[in-house]
Chains A and B, each alone.
Chain A
Amino acid sequence: MSAPEPPVTATPRPPRLTYVLLPIALAGLGIASLPGRAATEGADPTLAALTEGLDGTRAALKSANLELPYYQQLVVWELEGVSIQATSGVDAALDHRLGRSLDVDLRLGSMQLDNTHKIRDASWFSTPERPQFNAPLAAGPALVELVWRATDEVYRSARRQLTKVRANDSVKVKRDDLSDDFSLAPVVAYQAPPARLVVDEAAWQSTLRDVSALYLNYPTIYDSSALLNVERHERWLVNNEGSRVHDGRLRYRAATWAETVAEDGMRLSVYDYVDAATADHLPSREDFLSMARRVANTVLALRNAPVIEPHTGPAILRGRAAGVFFHEIFGHRIEGMRQKDEDEGQTFTDRVGELVLPAILSVHDDPTQARYGDTDLNGAYLVDDEGVSSEPVTLVERGILRNFLMSRAPVEGFSRSNGHGRRQPGNDVVARQGNLRVEAHQTVSEARLRELLIAEIKRQNKPFGLMFDDISGGFTFTGRSTPNAFSVQPVTVWRVYPDGRPDELVRGVDLIGTPLTTFSRILAASDQVDVFNGVCGAESGWVPVSAIAPSLLIGEVEVQRREKENDRPPLLPPPTLVPGPGGPV
């Protein structure tokens, strides 16, 4: 009953190399379309406690003649969750959780150079560990006390760091990017607390039992599960500029997965899910059962599918695969901080105004968008984690690079935030994607896209092309010390033959490549658009994201063998209650 093996894993502190996208966490959103009210600490005890702590610590620093942080922000996060899981037709787990944490962000020095400035040529472990603070469940004196203690700890750490930053700036050559470390932003007052978390646990347990029991009909599915996760995220944010935010979201995920082992030892797992912002957007019992049937049939089909050899050739990335593809190989490279970090590959830093994608494509990121069609978008939010209102951004306009995803850390030519400063609680904020959307200005039908693929296979004289139907995740390297490569892990890949033979499901490969080469080979896009909802792991932790893209025809992709397990399938048949020769087995 172990969870499905994640297709990729993230190291706790990646050396600015690896960014991971997974569909494993909760999704959905509860605030996006709310108009919101101005948040006032007077009516909200948590905002009041934070404001008292903020004002009190600043007064204490001032009275002690200590340098005042030019920016000081306090955030309390509350996470309430319910997880229900069933396996083999019975309840496997029911878990409730509730907790609060505190983040203290402060900047010493000046906007031009502060304690958050990156120390160049530093060792991996030179960045001080960010302290974590559990917060009381209720506002009151204990929270104020915690703010004082946490601020003291963070202030002392910032003071040490600023000393090192200044020395480093003196010792090192002139920076390539002379932009400031921080930018001004309008004051935000916003209040849209999330709805209460209400889950009909008994009804969901019943549904999950039924869904998970379905897998018992498939003897070679060795492990499987059905689960519901519901989380209520609530946030209170105050800063010394005067912003006051109290908001949150509800996130639902209904998911199921099944695992088998092929005769060659390869473990094969298929995971499917629906993310939603409200309970009524979750699948019905019947739809959930259909999803499980699809999962079962897919995993068993994969078990019997041939393993594909390493190959290059034309391919179609369909639906969610195209979204993940763009998130990984494009989205991470237009995050603002990578444009000024001299350890980064800076693929696009100097290419603003230049053609970087085929002219048929534009790319936007719009966190203000709550839904796409009938699908709730994971990456939606109205105020980012630096107290800045989120904005829709056109990153690429008909192939030409126009903008970057910006937090309040400027880069040359882009001096203000567009509301993309994001983080998982307990991490430093950096610029991240929200709802990345690839727009195709010239499209063909799916059927026509397939005809174009076959034509391309023939033109290249290849024995087959590939069609990537669904993916489980991916990662990319953006730093200079490693190849700027990406890897996307498909779940279902089909061989498409030019001679009319039926498409053939294959297994055992990952899609790999490098960004500029791959972008240059995008040939066409379809009129069918799909949404990938997931969570993305990078420097500032795991944040919910969405990627929306049409199916894409790419002139050449490369696949490599996937890492494979080698254990034999289980040696004994699965247990059953049906008596066999010699009694029940």
Chain B
Amino acid sequence: MSGAVLGVGLAWAGSAILTALTEELDRSRTLSLPDAAPPYFVAYDVLDGEMCTAFAELGALVSLRNERYRTLRAEVRTGDYSFDSSNFSAFGEREGVEQVRLPIADDLLALRREIWLATDRAYKGAVEQLSRKQAARHGNGDARPADFEKRAPVVSHRLHEAVPLQDQALAALVTSLTATLTETPAIEVGQAVVRQWEGQRYVVTSEGTQLEMPTGYTVLRVEAVTRLADGSRERDARSWVVRSPEDLPPEAELRAEVAEMAAWLDALHDAPAEPDYLGPVIFEGQAAIELFSQLLAGEITGTPAVEEELQNGELPSSGPVQARLGRRLLPRGWTVTDEVSAHPETPAWYAYDHEGVPPASVELVRDGVLVDVLMSRIPREDRASSTGHARAVRAARRAALPGAVEVRPARQSSARRIRRLALDASALAGHDYVLVVKQIEPPAIHEQFDVTYSGEGPPAGLTQPFEVERLYRDGRREPVRSLSFLGVDRGALRDIEAAGPMVPAATLLDGPAGTGRFAIGPTGGIPVWWSVPTVLVAEVELRSRAGGEHRVIAAPRVGSVD
């Protein structure tokens, strides 16, 4: 079979995938159904690569899996750029997108067969989706933006520099890191997962775009749980997202961070349960990054939500809320930019987004006010063009996602001044200390079933804090525990009282705000780079969640210590 491939004129020497995609794309132009529009746009997006995932618990390897994968997302649009089959959803109905696995062999005919069938299904789905959308729009004269932006084609070849999977080394690493946790007897769950993903993305569209782009990242996450005397269950985690295993910090450094996390959890056994708290809060380190990631991302991405048909077949009278230009998001003088191209050293960097558009540098917030939004090729009323930020997981709609975000305050205060300001404000709220949040739960490992199952965000808008300290005027810091945020939303960003030093920039794995964000799992998602300062928020409410069911059989290590 393989030999036969070479007999066909190759648009891309050596790449059976691109040949198969372009040949089936050519054939897709002849698709037709009676009384139905032919496709006006077809796009294929192939992820081709391999990954290994190792999982260890308390010093023992639980699983190690190597996977070879090749998946196709086929998208067919009928109609035209102004009004097409996309951006519309009817519950349970298929759409113009199909995702299938492709053969892992570079055989032209076998690849084309799968692409052919997926395109066929996607076209039929698109035709039906367009008809449902037309039916829902009957009698609804609301002016709406176009459905899709027309772009000039781009052609680019960037080959992935093959990095061999380091499965054994990574398995040894997670085993070693979790063995560190066994040195703290009070830890009852101590686990680590690592994934190395190496691959190539191919994007071919009927507009003429043909792209080969390297893709992949390595993510390491360590998580630990302890149960306190009053039954409270306390968690903490550390994450690293890098381009390849070589970019991870040295093992000694990783072990030190894990040991520090374990020591934190151990110290919570003697820490007071913080009562309900209302007052100023300092967000520093990872917590500052999570604060902006969770509260700002949805405010700077402009892709309009899909229209969702109501049960009666009509459209809702008002569309969903979207990022609104002119809204004050941050205090005066603050700026927010997204400059993917300026950070080629990070795993969040890319040359073209998933729609084949290069990422633009975008000034999003000027003087605290939203002046621009990140866009995919799905226009909205006040923004017609993509900024090259369409990135999505699996077969999901290509909506905009932040790439490399830098949040800059008008002025930065020293850490000392931030502390003083915080303590002064805290005194006015009746406290002789201020709370400092150092770690916040990443949404990807959120445990609340109704949140992760539904894909909806937690009602309060911020996941729970993992590490919180009381900071006293004499500089003393004291860990407190068992807290959750209450009602913290984007308004908290406007309430930023002061900014401190920039925290070390970091890459998170993230998904689109809302549905899906809490279901990407500990090793899934899209890398997003964040650079933010330490911040003092004038007023934050935290609620005590102390207490829970006691463990009746203590861990054997605890028993042996006693």
- Neighbour of B103 across the interface among A2, A92, A140, CB < 8 A: A92
Bound Cα distance from A577 to B59, whole angstroms: 54
Stretch at the interface among B104-112, B398-406, B521-529: B104-112
Bound Cα distance from A346 to B560, whole angstroms: 52
- Neighbour of A134 across the interface among B28, B62, B66, B555, CB < 8 A: B62
Query: Which residue of chain A has its CB nearest to the CB of B108?
Result: A577
Distance in Å: Cβ of B280 to nearest Cβ of chain A: 39
| Chain B 56-108 interface residues, beta-carbon cutoff 8 Å to A | 56-68, 100-105, 107-108
Tell me, yes or no, whether B424 is within 8 Å of chain A by CB: no
Most buried by A among B68, B124, B556: B556
Chain B residues within 8 Å of A151, by CB: 553
CB-based contact A584/B555 at 8 Å = no
CB-based contact B120/A571 at 8 Å = yes
Tell me, yes or no, whether A229 is within 8 Å of chain B by CB: no
CB-based contact A91/B105 at 8 Å = yes
Tell me, yes or no, whether A195 is within 8 Å of chain B by CB: no
Tell me, yes or no, whether A542 is within 8 Å of chain B by CB: no
CB-based contact A87/B110 at 8 Å = yes
Tell me, yes or no, whether B420 is within 8 Å of chain A by CB: no
Tell me, yes or no, whether A360 is within 8 Å of chain B by CB: no
CB-based contact B23/A140 at 8 Å = no
Tell me, yes or no, whether B549 is within 8 Å of chain A by CB: yes
Q: Do A89 and B116 form a contact, CB below 8 Å, given A149-B189, A571-B33?
A: no
Q: Do A136 and B61 form a contact, CB below 8 Å, given A90-B105, A572-B30?
A: yes
Chain B residues within 8 Å of A56, by CB: 556
Bound Cα distance from A87 to B553, whole angstroms: 52
Bound Cα distance from A584 to B10, whole angstroms: 12
Interface magnitude class on chain B: 35 or more
Tell me, yes or no, whether B123 is within 8 Å of chain A by CB: yes
- Neighbour of A137 across the interface among B24, B60, B123, B552, CB < 8 A: B60
Chain A residues within 8 Å of B182, by CB: 141-142
| Chain A 400-422 interface residues, beta-carbon cutoff 8 Å to B | none
Stretch at the interface among A95-103, A274-282, A327-335: A95-103
Tell me, yes or no, whether B31 is within 8 Å of chain A by CB: yes
Q: Do A148 and B553 form a contact, CB below 8 Å, given A138-B60, A143-B60, A574-B113?
A: yes
B31-61 interface code vs A (CB 8 A; 1 in, 0 out): 1110000000000000000000001111111
CB-based contact A95/B67 at 8 Å = yes
Q: Do A88 and B103 form a contact, CB below 8 Å, given A99-B62, A136-B62?
A: yes
| Chain B 509-562 interface residues, beta-carbon cutoff 8 Å to A | 549, 551-557, 559
Tell me, yes or no, whether A222 is within 8 Å of chain B by CB: yes
Chain A residues within 8 Å of B100, by CB: 1-2
Chain A residues within 8 Å of B189, by CB: 149
Chain A residues within 8 Å of B33, by CB: 568, 571
Tell me, yes or no, whether B134 is within 8 Å of chain A by CB: no
Distance in Å: Cβ of B25 to nearest Cβ of chain A: 12
Distance in Å: Cβ of A57 to nearest Cβ of chain B: 5
Majority-rule SS of A interface residues: mixed
Q: Do A1 and B8 form a contact, CB below 8 Å, given A57-B553, A60-B559?
A: no
- Neighbour of A572 across the interface among B7, B102, B116, B553, CB < 8 A: B116
- Neighbour of B66 across the interface among A96, A142, A149, A222, CB < 8 A: A96
- Neighbour of A584 across the interface among B23, B103, B188, CB < 8 A: B23
Bound Cα distance from A228 to B123, whole angstroms: 33
Bound Cα distance from A91 to B23, whole angstroms: 21
CB-based contact A575/B553 at 8 Å = no
Bound Cα distance from A327 to B401, whole angstroms: 53
Q: Do A88 and B110 form a contact, CB below 8 Å, given A138-B61, A571-B32, A585-B27?
A: yes
CB-based contact A576/B109 at 8 Å = yes
A262-280 interface code vs B (CB 8 A; 1 in, 0 out): 0000000000000000000
Tell me, yes or no, whether A216 is within 8 Å of chain B by CB: yes
A1-13 interface code vs B (CB 8 A; 1 in, 0 out): 1100000000000
Chain B residues within 8 Å of A584, by CB: 8-9, 23
CB-based contact A155/B120 at 8 Å = no
Bound Cα distance from A57 to B555, whole angstroms: 9
Tell me, yes or no, whether B117 is within 8 Å of chain A by CB: yes
CB-based contact A89/B556 at 8 Å = no
Majority-rule SS of B interface residues: mixed
- Neighbour of A575 across the interface among B65, B112, B124, CB < 8 A: B112
Distance in Å: Cβ of B62 to nearest Cβ of chain A: 5
A109-152 interface code vs B (CB 8 A; 1 in, 0 out): 00000000000000000000000001111101111111011011
Chain B residues within 8 Å of A97, by CB: 65
- Neighbour of A89 across the interface among B107, B112, B121, CB < 8 A: B107
Tell me, yes or no, whether A156 is within 8 Å of chain B by CB: yes
CB-based contact B27/A572 at 8 Å = yes
Q: Do A146 and B57 form a contact, CB below 8 Å, given A90-B107, A155-B552, A574-B113?
A: yes
Q: Do A156 and B552 form a contact, CB below 8 Å, given A134-B57, A149-B189?
A: yes
CB-based contact B103/A144 at 8 Å = no
CB-based contact A145/B555 at 8 Å = yes
B183-196 interface code vs A (CB 8 A; 1 in, 0 out): 00000110000000
CB-based contact B120/A570 at 8 Å = yes
Most buried by B among A98, A99, A143, A577: A577
Tell me, yes or no, whether B2 is within 8 Å of chain A by CB: yes
Bound Cα distance from A148 to B101, whole angstroms: 41
A456-498 interface code vs B (CB 8 A; 1 in, 0 out): 0000000000000000000000000000000000000000000
Distance in Å: Cβ of A143 to nearest Cβ of chain B: 7
Chain B residues within 8 Å of A87, by CB: 103, 110, 113-114
Chain A residues within 8 Å of B56, by CB: 136
CB-based contact B117/A135 at 8 Å = no
- Neighbour of B105 across the interface among A92, A138, A574, A577, CB < 8 A: A92
- Neighbour of B113 across the interface among A66, A149, A155, A575, CB < 8 A: A575
| Chain A 531-585 interface residues, beta-carbon cutoff 8 Å to B | 567-568, 570-572, 574-577, 584-585
Chain B residues within 8 Å of A213, by CB: 1
Chain A residues within 8 Å of B554, by CB: 60, 148
Chain B residues within 8 Å of A144, by CB: 556
Chain B residues within 8 Å of A138, by CB: 60-61
Tell me, yes or no, whether A184 is within 8 Å of chain B by CB: no
Distance in Å: Cβ of B126 to nearest Cβ of chain A: 12
CB-based contact B61/A216 at 8 Å = no
Bound Cα distance from A512 to B28, whole angstroms: 42
Tell me, yes or no, whether B152 is within 8 Å of chain A by CB: no
CB-based contact A155/B553 at 8 Å = yes
State the B residues within 8 Å of A (CB).
Answer: 1-2, 4-5, 7-9, 23-24, 27-28, 30-33, 55-68, 100-105, 107-110, 112-114, 116-117, 120-121, 123-124, 182, 188-189, 549, 551-557, 559
Given contacts A90-B105, A140-B60, A575-B109, list 12 more A-B pairs with CB under 8 A. A1-B102, A1-B114, A61-B553, A88-B109, A88-B110, A89-B1, A96-B65, A134-B55, A156-B552, A572-B116, A584-B23, A585-B27
A-B contact pairs, 15 of them (CB 8 A): A1-B103, A57-B553, A88-B110, A90-B1, A90-B105, A136-B57, A136-B58, A136-B61, A145-B555, A146-B57, A146-B58, A148-B554, A149-B188, A152-B553, A567-B124
Q: Rank and list the top 7 A-B pairs by shortest CB-CB distance, nearest first.
A: A136-B60, A142-B60, A90-B105, A88-B110, A90-B107, A575-B112, A152-B553
